[in-house]
Amino acid sequence: MKKLVIKDIAKLAGVSYSAVSKTINNYPDISEETREKIQKIISKYNYCPSKSAQTLRSGKNNNIAFMSGRVASHFTVEILGAIEKRTFATGKYMHGIIPYSTNYDTAIMNEIFDKILYGREASAIVALAMNPPPGILQKYRKAGIPAILIENYMENAHTVNIDNKKAGFMAAEYLLKGGRKNIGIICGGLKAGSKFGYSYSAVERKAGFDAALEQYGVKPGDEYLEQCGNYTIAEGIEIFDSIMENEKVPDAIFCASGDMTAVGVMESAKKHGLKIPDDLAVVGFDDSQCSAFVNPPLTTIRQPIEEIGTEVFDMAVEAIGSKIKGFRHVVVEPELIVRKSAS
Amino acid sequence: MKKLVIKDIAKLAGVSYSAVSKTINNYPDISEETREKIQKIISKYNYCPSKSAQTLRSGKNNNIAFMSGRVASHFTVEILGAIEKRTFATGKYMHGIIPYSTNYDTAIMNEIFDKILYGREASAIVALAMNPPPGILQKYRKAGIPAILIENYMENAHTVNIDNKKAGFMAAEYLLKGGRKNIGIICGGLKAGSKFGYSYSAVERKAGFDAALEQYGVKPGDEYLEQCGNYTIAEGIEIFDSIMENEKVPDAIFCASGDMTAVGVMESAKKHGLKIPDDLAVVGFDDSQCSAFVNPPLTTIRQPIEEIGTEVFDMAVEAIGSKIKGFRHVVVEPELIVRKSAS
DNA sequence: CTGAAAGCGCTTACAG
DNA sequence: CTGAAAGCGCTTACAG
């Protein structure tokens, strides 16, 4: 059972192999009759065109590269899941979503950006919380490969974000209205080149957070600002352990870095004998799958993941089809989910 | 800035383009001098060979297709993460891992199996908890594309599993030793063609579970057997809600279908006023990331995910290199993680 | 050790 | 509406 190629199908159907190709690609200039005859043979013999040949010849492969620090992180997975769901909803799962992870390593990130661009491994690239190296976005532009940034903002790329400032503001305001005075924040890196690097969303969330503090007359101090790098429960524990070594201990923590951090913070706090929310209020971020079930249930900021996934996928498909002029910047609304950890 | 191809590199280096190809592919028959000269040009111009051309010509693409019901499920993600980690550890992230999800739909599964085989989209296929359609495995064999099954066992494929029977036995025994009398089990589908289909691991876990009951003189009854299909928290809630409508209520539930089911069961039980573990002991499966932090912390069976990921990846790489004769069947050990939900 | 040449399986102007 | 032909960018025997 040799693998069938387009020529075999053509012979079996008694047509030229251009006709087969045209049928596969839904070209209009082919008679209904011929098309049907060919379709029948294709189904009968289970013929699948070689993707590499199609890609090589046409210069397009319709793959969407999805780049993130770690595929197996909560947020990445949920975004990927939302995109996946959309592919099924639209019936367009022909667009292969290919995940690339950088392992949070800038050198690997650069290499992947190059590989996708120069090796033509995808027709569009989606990058989650990535800071593309300077100049690369223009190269993508020139090569006709649209780039979509999630959790980042750049003029010369499409972007999809929640309103991070608003999210930070909402979290702080909720805590302030609850009477908290010494509110800390844990977030991703705030500065390029520093240990934790630069995270657009961290900077925005912190800005909103600070704005709320100021508006309520609380002077934002840096004593409870902590940055973090890998967004895990273990890291949350570690950070709050170190906070407990300070003289003053905060009465609230906003984990802009995500629910996993928040779960870690709560674990550490409980271990140190603090009652949640009485002694310490905790607000997370992302409304991860298990946030409603941890102890106590976590108050958090929800990102409308499905909406983000839908936007990203549709945008990628449209952009591959060159249907977008200029750059599109989508901002979606965050939502405060009140549970028990910060009441 | 036109994209550079192998001919351009050859011209720039002043050699034939076979020489460039040989350098790229580490052929031995090339002088050190020539190789270096070519390498320098490649780096300088950021040349990346076209993957589709390589694939088309060589018939190999070194991609590993990873198929599961839903990429964004806990277990899938953790397995993918483990594989990913291994790719970085070995430096072999040239093997692209391409996830395909079936959306738990048999027709889509069949289509994907065909697509990968006939469209040559990957050099190896890894399928998680899938029942390949009859005959397809032989076709993969003939095509030289190794197939690796996780959470399933078939003679004519490589397989990686935990000892599911033992896992079921351990869970039941722990509950029995704790004095539980009316133990229920929730697991995946037990029979092909039935509503929930057939899951190899469900059947094995239940067999081990039943064996323990018998050994302790408890007659296994079917009244507390529930099957499930999507392994979510919501489903767990739904199932236990319906169990609560029975006259007799179990004093223990083993959620062989995973920790998400277990979290759902606990939510439902608490809602009905049951105390955990006093009124109801719950044992989960998988030791998912948040299991230690739910309320109460979940006793569960841990699968050594990293070991599984490592085995799968190494096996795929070896098999692509034709270094495996016959079929390899790996079985790894489960582990009971005791927390508070079943003491 | 080096290079010329065939060909992988398609798509896409182009001519009829 | 149909088909002949060029060519995408590589790899790999093969001859020298």
- CA B202, distance to chain mean position in Å, is 14
pLDDT at residue B274 in the model? 97
Nearest CB to A120 within list B50, B99, B290: B50
Record: contact A52-B55, CB cut-off 8 A: yes
**B285 backbone dihedrals φ, ψ, rounded to 5°:** -150, 135
Look up residue A57 and give its two tokens. 């010849």
pLDDT top residue among A220 and A204: A204
Q: What is the pLDDT of residues A124-172, one digit of tens each?
A: 999 999 999 989 999 898 888 899 999 999 999 999 999 999 999 999 9
Q: pLDDT at position B2, please?
A: 63
Nucleotide nearest to B59 (CA to C1'): C8
pLDDT at B320 (0 to 100): 85
Interface test with B, best of A2, A41, A77 (most B CBs within 10 A): A77
How far, CA to CA in Å, does B30 sit from each of B24, B35, B39, B141?
Answer: 11, 7, 12, 35
Question: Kind of pairing, strands B335-337 and B299-302?
Answer: antiparallel
Q: Is the confidence at residue A28, as pLDDT, over 90?
A: no
Name the strands in the sheet holding B225-227, side by side, starting at the edge strand that comes first in the sequence.
B225-227, B183-187, B252-255, B281-285, B299-302, B335-337
Average pLDDT (B144-150) is 93
**Minimum-distance CB partner of A121 among B51, B84, B295:** B51
Percent pLDDT > 70 in chain A is: 97
Cα angle value A314/A315/A318 (rounded, 5°): 85
Closest CA to A175 of A21, A93, A280, A285: A280
* B35, closest nucleotide (Cα–C1'): C1
- pLDDT bin (cut points 50, 70, 90) of residue B122 is confident
> CA A85 to CA B117: how far, in whole Å?
24
pLDDT digits (tens, 9 = 90+) for B202-239: 999 999 999 999 999 887 665 588 999 888 899 999 99
pLDDT tens column, B272-312? 999 999 999 999 999 988 899 999 999 999 999 989 999 99
Q: How far is A214 from chain B (nearest CA, A)?
A: 34
Instruction: Calculate how close chain B gets to A76, using CA atoms only, in Å.
Output: 9
Give the nucleotide at minimum CA-to-C1' distance from B16: C3
* Share of residues in chain B with pLDDT > 90 (%): 52
Do residues B204 and B285 make contact, with C-beta atoms less than 8 angstroms apart? no
Is the CB of residue A51 inside 7 Å of nucleic acid strand C?
no
Predicted confidence at residue B101, as pLDDT, reads: 84
Q: What is the pLDDT of residue B63?
A: 86
CA distance, residue A225 to nearest chain B CA (Å): 25
Distance CA B98, CA B64 (A): 6
Q: Which residues, 6+ apart, have CB-to-CB distance to B115 below 8 Å?
A: A48, B121
Summarize pLDDT for A293-313 with one digit per residue, the tens: 999 999 999 999 889 999 999
* B94 has pLDDT over 80: no
Q: With an 8 Å Cβ cutoff, are B48 and A267 in contact?
A: no
Tally A–B CB contacts below 8 A.
Answer: 132
Structural domains in chain A, CATH included, are 6-49 (1.10.260.40), 64-161+305-333 (3.40.50.2300), 164-303+336-342 (3.40.50.2300)
pTM: 0.83
User: Which residues of chain B neighbour A47 with C-beta distances below 8 Å?
Assistant: 118
Given a cut of 90, is residue B262 above it in pLDDT? yes
Mean pLDDT of chain A: 89
Task: Please report, as a single letter, which amino acid is at residue A37.
Answer: K
